[in-house]
Amino acid sequence: AQSVTQLGSHVSVSEGALVLLRCNYSSSVPPYLFWYVQYPNQGLQLLLKYTSAATLVKGINGFEAEFKKSETSFHLTKPSAHMSDAAEYFCAVSDSGGSNYKLTFGKGTLLTVNP
Amino acid sequence: GAVVSQHPSRVICKSGTSVKIECRSLDFQATTMFWYRQFPKQSLMLMATSNEGSKATYEQGVEKDKFLINHASLTLSTLTVTSAHPEDSSFYICSARDAGHLISPLHFGNGTRLTVT
């Protein structure tokens, strides 16, 4: 079984400040990890993914995440927040890369950016 | 990039009627599509896995006779909410994976907001 815990359902930062969204996972096998962003009344957009290659993964919109096996973490960061980053962010884990793998999502973290 | 189109984006229906939601992969083939349900301010809950040319696999607790899934082609899956009731009001999101890429991430539609009155 696999699970994802996102610490903090709501994170608020000032524009230009560092963004840090936390994600810890549990998986019995080496995981595949993903971060998705959701804007109001829309589907999810992939920010980045970890698939056992480089542990530091760079994604779109200036986001990156680091896979730390010893800490079972995959935290999402961005050096400088922009107003357009305000959205809901979901961390997800899969235990397989096969064609039918399923994603298990965390409960999400709402990011607000203050001017 | 890969695009998944979901239609309609919003639908309001009366209790007891059925509603069909379409999910199309526009520029790739998807042997597998997934249907999620999302309640306000909550995460996505997987309802079922739709497999092209075969029966869908439903998650525990999801009524397969109420949520009918059809995946008739490599680019189209449909979810029909039968005899809808107010408690079925929710945000439904489909996703698909490019069958031509190993470890391809899921691509999501923009969701359908269903309101049952």
pLDDT bucket at B102, cuts 50 / 70 / 90 = low
> What is the reported pLDDT for A2?
81
Q: How far is CA A13 from the centre of its chain?
A: 17
Q: Which two tokens stand for residue B110?
A: 């923009």
> What is the reported pLDDT for A96?
67
At position B74, the amino acid (one-letter code) is: L
Best of A3, A32, A44, A88 to substitute, by most chain B Cβ atoms within 10 angstroms, is: A44
Question: What is the DSSP pairing of strand B19-25 with strand B4-7?
Answer: antiparallel
Nearest CA in chain B to A87: B41
By Cβ distance, the residue of A44, A49, A110 closest to B108 is A44
Residues of chain A with pLDDT under 70: 96-101
Closest to A74 (Cα-Cα) out of A38, A113, A105? A105
CA diameter of chain B: 43
3-state secondary structure of A85: helix
Quote the CA–CA distance of A101 and A114 in Å, as a whole number: 38
- B105 has a pLDDT exceeding 90: no
Q: pLDDT digit string (tens) for B30-89? A: 888 999 999 887 888 999 998 888 889 999 999 999 999 999 888 999 999 999 999 999
> What is the reported pLDDT for A99?
47
| B6 with A43: Cβ contact below 8 A | yes
> What is the reported pLDDT for A100?
54
